[in-house]
């Protein structure tokens, strides 16, 4: 059929017109297109997975080394010879507009080659098909997703201080109490402890560096008007953890009964089978426990692990299993707890979490070329990788708070140029989520003042093109960084 002057050959169960495009239904749908080896809008599976335009002229290259694949993108498709993405995707047409296909439920794959754009799902679903300007089709898709998956994060996102991108896991009670004290006079709303407080991945109890227990930090933050925040990775555990040793049968295995690896850092770790009733009650008590310690902002990380391919106790699709586990967590946390999902399958998290990390980790340096170019891995920590993927996920803004990761104000321990630091600061403004990890004592007077002004500012944000914005009166163009 003809759409916007182009001939597309559509096969789908049903097709009906909707505002801005068409609704298709079926487990698989296929659109023959006339654009040849054009650009493909790839949308990676989870927070850290690549999102951006890639060329169909080059074959997809598997991420190296293989052990890293489970935590980079959907490992089910790590070796796919065809370009693909998760949930949604598109092709650039001859006139620069976009042929777009997006599923209205989680669990779908989009594939593209020089002849077809395909949608593949393990269950019946509806799809939105459109041809138009990138901004318009993505905005319309977000509206449709809001109806099927729900929306959270309507109030402005909180301003967060997070311990990761300065101290990494080298945190302690005394250091954190000092940091909280130093934050006085800076308009933060959340003080979030990151990785480094726990005994082990899986054993979510304070380690020896937090001798008075986790409530101490929470109380001190609160007494200074800050919401206490805590990082945890509820769906994973290391083999050295007591959790794993006591319950090896709680962990996800493949058809052969072998444990499914969830990733290779920390000497490797495994994923819980979140459909097991015993695991579900363990998860709920974990969340109630940290709530009891006083934390009201939870950065839940490595969430993809619950949706990895494997054989589960309950016969649900993997993204349904994940979504159900998130629902149980939300129920245990209560509605007044802010949940930031990180390393999280994107579509399957919508409607259940308040904030969503939309890119890989930033770093105080621009590129991670060894991994990005030679190992075909665009998910390594770097300002560039974070900026690129986050920019291609801003269409999610009407559905959830979109977290592009922290911005830097410090020059200490930082290789970013002033312009690169400014790009990350602006990215946070356009994404609507402001966070930093800069310890106040690392900032000189001028840097502290810049941070304060940035935290206080509430400029109007107008998107004028895929990569161009008006922030207040200022024109900002991110395309020169891409
Ligand atoms: C804490 C960090 C921070 C950060 C998260 C997440 O080895 N890896 O592939 C790997 C990927 C991401 C990652 C850490 C390790 O970062 O995004 O903000 O919370 O965990 O460990």
On the question of pLDDT at 265 being above 90, the answer is no
Give per-residue pLDDT as tens, 196-212.
Answer: 999 999 999 999 999 99
Give per-residue pLDDT as tens, 386-399.
Answer: 999 999 999 999 99
Average pLDDT rounded to a whole number, residues 339-360: 98
Pocket of ligand 1 (CB under 6 A): 71, 164, 194-195, 231, 265, 301, 342-343, 361
Instruction: Kindly report the protein residue whose alpha carbon is nearest to atom 17 of ligand 1.
Output: 361
The band of 325, judged by pLDDT with boundaries at 50, 70 and 90, is: very high
Q: Domain spanning 160-481: which superfamily?
A: Aldolase class I (3.20.20.70)
Distance 375 CA to ligand 1 centre (A): 18
Which among 290, 295, 294, 282 has a CA at the least distance from the CA of 328?
282
Distance 361 CA to ligand 1 centre (A): 7
Instruction: Kindly report the protein residue whose alpha carbon is nearest to atom 18 of ligand 1.
Output: 361
Task: Quote the pLDDT of residue 179.
Answer: 98
CA distances for 322 relative to 122, 205, 479, angstroms:
15, 24, 35
Q: Which atom of ligand 1 is nearest to the CA of 47?
A: 17
Average pLDDT rounded to a whole number, residues 45-49: 98
The band of 111, judged by pLDDT with boundaries at 50, 70 and 90, is: very high
Average pLDDT rounded to a whole number, residues 361-375: 97
Distance 115 CA to ligand 1 centre (A): 38
* Least reliable range by pLDDT among 73-82, 151-160, 268-277, 358-367: 151-160
Instruction: Kindly report the protein residue whose alpha carbon is nearest to atom 21 of ligand 1.
Output: 195
Task: Quote the pLDDT of residue 241.
Answer: 98
Instruction: Kindly report the protein residue whose alpha carbon is nearest to atom 10 of ligand 1.
Output: 265
Distance 370 CA to ligand 1 centre (A): 18
Distance 380 CA to ligand 1 centre (A): 9
- Inter-axis angle of helices 214-223 and 173-182, nearest 10: 10
Q: Which atom of ligand 1 is nearest to the CA of 231?
A: 19
The span from the CA of 370 to the CA of 125, in Å, is 39
Mutate to test the pocket of ligand 1, among 65, 230, 269, 342 (most ligand atoms within 8 A of CB): 342
Instruction: Kindly report the protein residue whose alpha carbon is nearest to atom 15 of ligand 1.
Output: 265
**How many other β-carbons are positioned within 10 Å of the β-carbon of residue 373?**
11
Buried b (16+ CB within 10 A) or exposed e, 298-335: bbbbbbbbbbbebebbeeebbbbbbbbbbebbbebbee
Task: Quote the pLDDT of residue 266.
Answer: 85
Q: Which atom of ligand 1 is nearest to the CA of 357?
A: 17
Give percent of the chain above pLDDT 70.
Answer: 100
Delimit the domains of the chain by residue range: 2-149, 160-481
The span from the CA of 394 to the CA of 412, in Å, is 30
Task: Quote the pLDDT of residue 324.
Answer: 98
Task: Quote the pLDDT of residue 233.
Answer: 98
pTM for the model stands at 0.98
Catalytic residues: 301, 361
> What mean pLDDT, rounded, does the chain reach?
97
Distance 108 CA to ligand 1 centre (A): 25
Q: Which atom of ligand 1 is nearest to the CA of 71?
A: 9
Instruction: Kindly report the protein residue whose alpha carbon is nearest to atom 4 of ligand 1.
Output: 361
Task: State yes or no: cis peptide before 65, omega within 30 of 0.
Answer: yes
Mutate to test the pocket of ligand 1, among 46, 163, 164, 233 (most ligand atoms within 8 A of CB): 164
On the question of pLDDT at 267 being above 90, the answer is no
Which among 94, 89, 30, 28 has a CA at the least distance from the CA of 60?
89
The band of 100, judged by pLDDT with boundaries at 50, 70 and 90, is: very high
Distance 289 CA to ligand 1 centre (A): 23
Is the distance from CB of 396 to CB of 382 less than 8 angstroms?
no
Give per-residue pLDDT as tens, 342-352.
Answer: 999 999 999 99
Task: Quote the pLDDT of residue 404.
Answer: 98
Instruction: Kindly report the protein residue whose alpha carbon is nearest to atom 1 of ligand 1.
Output: 195
Question: What number is the ipTM of this complex?
Answer: 0.98
The band of 122, judged by pLDDT with boundaries at 50, 70 and 90, is: confident
């Amino acid at each position: 059929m003809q759409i916007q002057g182009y001939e597309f050959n559509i096969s789908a169960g049903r097709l009906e017109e909707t505002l801005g495009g068409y609704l298709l239904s079926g487990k698989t749908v296929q659109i023959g297109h006339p654009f040849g080896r054009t650009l493909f809008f790839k949308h990676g599976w989870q927070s850290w997975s690549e999102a951006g335009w890639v060329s169909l002229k080059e074959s997809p290259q598997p991420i190296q080394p293989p052990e890293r694949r489970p935590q980079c993108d959907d490992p089910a498709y790590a070796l796919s010879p065809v370009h693909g993405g998760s949930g949604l995707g598109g092709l650039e047409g001859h006139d620069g507009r976009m042929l777009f296909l997006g599923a209205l439920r989680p669990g779908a794959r989009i594939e593209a080659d020089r002849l077809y754009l395909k949608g593949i799902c393990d269950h019946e679903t509806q799809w939105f098909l459109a041809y138009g300007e990138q901004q318009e089709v993505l905005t319309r898709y977000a509206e449709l997703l809001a109806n099927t998956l729900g929306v959270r994060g309507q109030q402005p996102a909180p301003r967060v201080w997070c311990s990761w991108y300065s101290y990494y896991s080298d945190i302690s009670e005394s250091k954190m109490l000092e940091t909280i004290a130093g934050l006085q006079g800076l308009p933060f709303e959340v003080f979030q402890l990151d990785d480094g407080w726990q005994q082990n991945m899986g054993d979510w109890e304070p380690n020896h560096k937090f001798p008075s227990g986790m409530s101490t930090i929470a109380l001190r933050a609160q007494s200074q008007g800050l919401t206490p925040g805590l990082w945890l990775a509820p769906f994973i555990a290391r083999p050295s953890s007591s959790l794993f040793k006591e319950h090896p049968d709680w962990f996800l295995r493949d058809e052969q009964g072998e444990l499914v690896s969830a990733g290779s850092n920390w000497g490797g770790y495994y994923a819980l089978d979140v459909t097991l009733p015993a695991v579900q009650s363990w998860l709920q008590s974990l969340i109630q426990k940290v709530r009891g310690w006083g934390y009201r902002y939870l950065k839940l990380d490595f969430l993809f692990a619950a949706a990895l391919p494997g054989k589960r106790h309950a016969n649900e699709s993997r993204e349904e299993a994940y979504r159900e586990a998130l629902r149980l967590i939300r129920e245990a946390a209560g509605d007044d707890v802010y949940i930031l999902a990180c390393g999280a399958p994107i579509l399957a998290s919508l409607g259940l979490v308040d904030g969503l990390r939309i890119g890989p980790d930033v770093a105080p340096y621009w590129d991670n070329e060894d991994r990005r170019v030679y190992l075909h891995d665009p998910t390594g920590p770097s300002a560039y990788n974070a900026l690129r993927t986050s920019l291609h996920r801003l269409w999610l803004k009407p559905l959830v708070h979109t977290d592009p990761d922290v911005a830097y104000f410090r020059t200490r321990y930082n290789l970013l140029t002033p312009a690169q630091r400014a790009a990350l600061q602006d990215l946070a403004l356009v994404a609507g989520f402001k966070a930093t990890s800069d310890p106040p004592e690392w900032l000189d007077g001028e840097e502290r003042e810049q941070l304060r002004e940035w935290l206080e500012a509430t400029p109007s944000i107008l998107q004028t093109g895929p990569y161009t914005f008006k922030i207040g009166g200022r024109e900002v163009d991110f395309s020169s960084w891409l």
